[in-house]
């Protein structure tokens, strides 16, 4: 048997900086930043109960991020690191003199840093890092000076695995750093190289269908045959000179095979389906451009979305574009080595994609021509009145654009909840200003366009609104005789109106303390962790019971008597379900001996959820049969909303029930004391609902990481895994905040407005304000596909955006269905 390398692996001792509060401090003193690591170092080195020691210092990276790599603080920090390195090396040398076993000291970095302090791109300053391996086992001669060589960072995993006597990770694409083992006998050198080439060849076979034609695989087969000949000579005890010459040739052959295999795998791993990505991006951009060009028509008094899709099919431009795209598709798919998703589709399916792109392009061209013609006509006809942009309009514009721009940075994606918290808080302050102006300065300073504005005859000339990103036009009716009067409250009601934005701010602040999310502050304790601990189950039980009572009080006020009874029994069933699975306790329950899966209790609640939804759907169908019965439609929408609230109460964990309560409370406060008195237009109310829905998505404890998805919600009431119900329940529990706020928007616009086009405006604004961030993010992800955090940060966010787009599509379908009902009535 061949001798194993000396770097055995038994115990890993990791010393972290521990308290992250020191990491984010403003004082860059090199003593304080990483003091938590250094102060434990002497004790750990003397204990010697470890075989591998990992020191994780954060201060140098922190200083670079804040002040850049040229900061004068860098020198002091590097001096501190030199002292730490000398202390570790001296301790290792002392241990070697006692045990006569060599140690390995690895000094490396995971990334470099640009002059601006970042390290997410691919510049040489960011991807070139030092790698120093120090060990007495290397047998360096005195005066032997070697110049630094460039190696791949992926080579470190294979090298350390072989040095520690461990299997190389099966997905590693790196090759052995040969200078580490060149002091070993020839037999061991060849064995290590053979282990690495076998691992890479297996990985190549799993990922490349045509692996037999790969030059690296061919070199590997040649090396294996040559290795067999060398072993045969070795067993026959041939002369050392012959063995050495053949071994040197075999070693060069192995090293060439390793380099070729590693390069092939690296290229294959980093290869993206650029053709399919570009085609998808083009379709997204065409749809977004079409939506933006349709803003004036969609938000006009008639609320018509005229998208010419049929007429472009008969134009010459359509056939020319289709011919060019088809030729390009043939060239890409027939080129050598082309592997992409679109090329794997059948020709009719791929042709359908080309037809779609051509149709959308012609539709965009037609819409652009109509917009330019309409602009020339309006420039010749002076507008009768001009609308004044309010501060709220400007806030919505800047907030939407700012959120989209923030998606280009990984840190902002990890902490996106902070963006939405800031936007919602700023929105509350803007509403507070409008409330004060409305209450103390009168109608002249109030909102300029309300939900009840009267429309002029069709012959009047509309004042076109300027196109915006996100949700640009904030006028419900571009043709109006004048602003509708704002109801100025008096007495106690006035003070409630003045206090309402501050009450909403207070609710948001309480919710921020309930669930810490993101990355930077996720380690901090929050109320959710305190409530879910076993020591505070009684407090959680009381809070859950009070939350369910509050939910009933906030929802039942507009329900029918039958739905009120169903809601009461359903909420009681929610508490029974949580008690059955051991989350909460009944007053007479002393322990958790009778814990079960709660399937019976959960299905009991599902019966009432379906009953309430069925009752609401029946009322909606009744309103279509009797168009004049608007009360039935309003009641049906609210009962559908109540059924969704009951389902959310069942799926939410007990500590998250206050999120649902405060969501309902904020909706009630804004409806009663802000939106009704101030009479904001449909577009503004739509954007506000969207913003609050996004904020409550993060108030639930969600983030842009897959780890925060509550998978257990998909199994509530199920004794076996059923794919469709599990996916639906998990998706609803995750996106309950946006869905409930969108449902409330439909209820509000259907019951509070006299305008027949309000729901059409809201549907268009909701689609636009959701599609703009998604479109921009798809472009950003495509351009940043080689970013350092593309798989850990950007890709999970893309999955969330894709799911959010499906939820938005379902909401828009609901909007459209209710708008048709509203039009008939």
Confidence of residue 755 (pLDDT cuts 50, 70, 90): low
pLDDT of residue 464: 30
Percent of the chain that is helix, strand, coil (3-state, to 5): 65, 0, 30
**Residue closest to 282 by CA, chosen among 353, 330, 338:** 353
Please return the burial class of 761, using the count of CB atoms within 10 Å of its CB with bins 0-12, 13-18 and 19+. buried
Q: Report the pLDDT averaged over residues 406-426.
A: 91
pLDDT in tens, 592-603: 556 677 899 999
Q: Report the pLDDT averaged over residues 678-692.
A: 89
Q: Report the pLDDT averaged over residues 114-132.
A: 77
pLDDT in tens, 287-315: 888 888 877 766 665 555 556 656 666 77
Q: Report the pLDDT averaged over residues 400-425.
A: 91
pLDDT in tens, 186-197: 889 999 999 999
pLDDT in tens, 497-520: 889 999 999 999 999 988 888 777
C-beta contacts of 10-15 below 8 A and 24+ residues apart: 10/51, 11/49, 11/50, 11/51, 11/52, 12/50, 12/51, 12/52, 12/54, 13/44, 13/49, 13/50, 13/52, 13/53, 13/54, 14/54, 14/56, 15/40, 15/41, 15/44, 15/53, 15/54, 15/55, 15/56
Q: Identify whether 120 is part of a domain.
A: yes
Question: Would you state the structure tokens that stand for residue 642, as one six-digit string?
Answer: 């109540």
pLDDT of residue 479: 31
pLDDT of residue 422: 95
760, pLDDT greater than 90 = no
Q: Identify whether 238 is part of a domain.
A: no
Q: Identify whether 815 is part of a domain.
A: yes
68, pLDDT greater than 90 = no
Confidence of residue 740 (pLDDT cuts 50, 70, 90): very high
Which of 89, 117, 150 corresponds to the end of one domain? Answer: 150
Backbone angles phi, psi at 322, to 5 degrees: -65, -40
The strand pair at 12-15 and 52-55 is best described as: parallel
The strand pair at 105-108 and 131-134 is best described as: antiparallel
More confident call, 81 vs 5 = 81
* CA 691 to each of CA 422, 451, 679, 738: distance values in angstroms, whole numbers, following the listed order: 11, 20, 18, 9
pLDDT of residue 582: 84
Confidence of residue 820 (pLDDT cuts 50, 70, 90): low
pLDDT of residue 127: 81
pLDDT of residue 292: 84
Rama region for 518: left / alpha / beta (φ>0; ψ in -120 to 50; rest): left
Confidence of residue 33 (pLDDT cuts 50, 70, 90): low
Q: Report the pLDDT averaged over residues 24-41.
A: 61
Q: Identify whether 251 is part of a domain.
A: no
Q: Report the pLDDT averaged over residues 440-448.
A: 54
Which 3 state secondary structure label does DSSP give 335? coil
Backbone angles phi, psi at 335, to 5 degrees: -75, 155
pLDDT of residue 736: 94
pLDDT in tens, 457-483: 333 333 333 333 333 333 333 333 334
443, pLDDT greater than 60 = no
Which of 131, 150, 169 corresponds to the end of one domain? Answer: 150
CB atoms within 10 A of CB 130: 9
pLDDT in tens, 214-257: 888 889 999 989 998 888 888 887 677 888 888 899 999 999 99
Which 3 state secondary structure label does DSSP give 131? strand
pLDDT of residue 271: 75
The whole-chain average pLDDT of the chain stands at 80
CA 193 to chain centre: 41
pLDDT in tens, 350-364: 899 998 999 888 888
452, pLDDT greater than 60 = no
Of the chain, the percentage scoring pLDDT greater than 70 comes to: 81
More confident call, 647 vs 461 = 647
Distance CA 254, CA 178 (A): 11
Number of domains in the chain: 2
pLDDT of residue 454: 36
More confident call, 629 vs 296 = 296
Query: Do 791 and 724 meet the contact criterion of CB atoms below 8 Å apart?
Result: no
**581: CB partners within 8 A, 6+ apart:** 595, 596, 597, 598
CB atoms within 10 A of CB 676: 16
pLDDT of residue 380: 64
pLDDT in tens, 326-385: 999 888 888 755 568 888 888 889 899 998 999 888 888 888 888 788 777 766 665 444
Distance CA 96, CA 531 (A): 51
**Residue closest to 686 by CA, chosen among 808, 566, 579, 564:** 808
Which of 133, 150, 167 corresponds to the end of one domain? Answer: 150
More confident call, 477 vs 631 = 631
Q: Report the pLDDT averaged over residues 105-127.
A: 77
Confidence of residue 14 (pLDDT cuts 50, 70, 90): very low
Distance CA 226, CA 221 (A): 9
628, pLDDT greater than 50 = yes
CA 251 to chain centre: 47
Domain that holds residue 134: 1-150
Q: Identify whether 209 is part of a domain.
A: no
Q: Identify whether 443 is part of a domain.
A: yes
Q: Identify whether 449 is part of a domain.
A: yes
More confident call, 148 vs 541 = 541
Q: Identify whether 31 is part of a domain.
A: yes
pLDDT of residue 451: 42
């Amino acid at each position: 048997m061949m001798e194993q390398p000396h770097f055995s692996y038994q115990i890993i001792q990791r010393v972290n900086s521990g308290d992250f509060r020191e990491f984010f401090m403003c004082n860059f003193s090199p003593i304080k930043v990483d003091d938590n690591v250094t102060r434990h170092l002497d004790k750990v080195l003397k204990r010697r109960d470890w075989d591998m020691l990992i020191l994780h210092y954060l201060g140098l990276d922190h200083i670079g991020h804040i002040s850049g790599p040229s900061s004068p603080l860098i020198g002091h920090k590097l001096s501190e690191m030199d002292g730490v390195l000398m202390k570790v090396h001296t301790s290792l040398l002392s241990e070697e003199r006692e045990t006569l076993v060599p140690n390995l000291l690895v000094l490396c970095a995971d990334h470099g840093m640009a002059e601006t302090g970042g390290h997410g791109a691919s510049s040489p300053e960011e991807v070139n890092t030092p790698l120093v391996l120090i060990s007495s086992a290397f047998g360096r001669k005195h005066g032997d000076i070697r110049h630094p060589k460039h190696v791949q960072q992926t080579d470190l995993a294979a090298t350390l695995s072989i040095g520690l006597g461990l299997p190389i990770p099966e997905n590693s694409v790196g090759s052995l750093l040969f200078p580490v083992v060149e002091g070993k006998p020839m037999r061991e050198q060849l064995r290590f190289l053979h282990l690495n080439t076998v691992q890479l060849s297996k990985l190549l076979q799993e990922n490349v269908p045509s692996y037999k034609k790969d030059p690296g695989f061919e070199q590997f087969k040649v090396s294996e045959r040559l290795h067999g000949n060398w072993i045969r000579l070795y067993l026959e005890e041939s002369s050392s000179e012959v063995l050495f010459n053949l071994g040197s040739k075999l070693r060069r052959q192995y090293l060439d095979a390793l380099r070729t295999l590693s390069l092939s795998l690296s290229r294959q791993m980093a290869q993206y389906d650029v053709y399919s990505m570009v085609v998808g991006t083009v379709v997204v951009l065409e749809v977004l451009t079409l939506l933006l060009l349709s803003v004036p028509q969609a938000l006009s008094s008639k609320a018509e979305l005229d998208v010419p899709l049929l007429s472009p099919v008969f134009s010459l431009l359509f056939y020319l574009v289709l011919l060019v795209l088809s030729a390009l598709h043939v060239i890409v798919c027939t080129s050598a080595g082309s592997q992409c998703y679109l090329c794997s589709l059948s020709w009719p399916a791929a042709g359908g994609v080309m037809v779609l792109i051509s149709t959308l392009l012609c539709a965009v061209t037609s819409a652009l021509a109509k917009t330019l013609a309409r602009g020339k006509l309006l420039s010749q006809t002076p507008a009768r009145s001009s609308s004044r942009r309010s501060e709220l309009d400007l806030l919505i514009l800047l907030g939407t654009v700012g959120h989209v721009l923030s998606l280009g940075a990984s840190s902002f994606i990890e902490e996106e909840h902070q963006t939405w918290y800031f936007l919602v808080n700023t929105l509350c302050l803007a509403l507070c200003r409008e409330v004060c102006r409305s209450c103390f300065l009168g109608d002249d300073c109030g909102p300029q366009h309300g939900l009840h504005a009267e429309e002029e005859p069709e012959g009047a000339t509309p004042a076109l609104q300027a196109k915006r990103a996100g949700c640009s036009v904030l006028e419900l009716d571009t043709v109006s005789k004048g602003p509708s009067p704002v109801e100025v409250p008096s007495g106690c009601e006035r003070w409630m109106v003045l206090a309402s934005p501050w009450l909403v701010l207070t609710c948001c602040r309480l919710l921020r303390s309930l669930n810490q999310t993101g990355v930077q502050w996720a380690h901090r304790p929050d109320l959710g962790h305190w409530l879910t601990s076993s020591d505070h189950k009684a407090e959680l039980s009381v809070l859950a019971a009070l939350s369910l009572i509050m939910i009933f009080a906030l929802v039942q006020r507009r329900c029918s008597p039958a739905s009120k009874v169903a809601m009461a029994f359903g909420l009681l069933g929610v508490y029974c379900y949580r008690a059955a699975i051991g989350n909460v306790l009944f007053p007479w329950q002393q322990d958790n001996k009778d814990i079960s899966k709660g399937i019976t209790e959960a299905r009991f609640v599902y019966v009432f959820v379906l009953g309430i939804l069925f009752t609401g759907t029946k009322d909606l169908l009744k309103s279509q049969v009797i168009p004049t019965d608007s009360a039935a439609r309003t009641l049906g929408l609210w009962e559908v909303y109540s059924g969704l609230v009951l389902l959310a109460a069942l799926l939410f964990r007990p500590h998250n029930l206050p999120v649902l309560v405060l969501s309902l409370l904020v909706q009630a406060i804004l409806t009663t004391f802000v939106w009704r008195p101030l009479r904001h237009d449909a577009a503004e109310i739509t954007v506000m609902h969207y913003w609050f829905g996004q904020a409550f998505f993060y108030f639930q404890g969600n983030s842009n990481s897959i780890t925060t998805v509550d998978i257990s919600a998909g199994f509530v009431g199920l004794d076996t895994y059923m794919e469709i119900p599990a996916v639906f329940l998990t998706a609803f529990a995750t996106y309950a905040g946006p869905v409930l706020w969108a449902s409330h928007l439909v209820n509000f616009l259907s019951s509070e407005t006299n305008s027949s086009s309000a729901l059409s405006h809201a549907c268009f604004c909701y689609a636009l304000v959701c599609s703009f961030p998604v479109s921009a993010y798809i472009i950003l992800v495509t351009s940043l596909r080689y970013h350092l955090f593309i798989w850990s940060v950007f890709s999970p966010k893309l999955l969330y955006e894709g799911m959010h787009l499906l939820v938005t599509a379902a909401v828009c379908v609901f909007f459209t269905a209710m708008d048709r009902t509203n039009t008939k009535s």
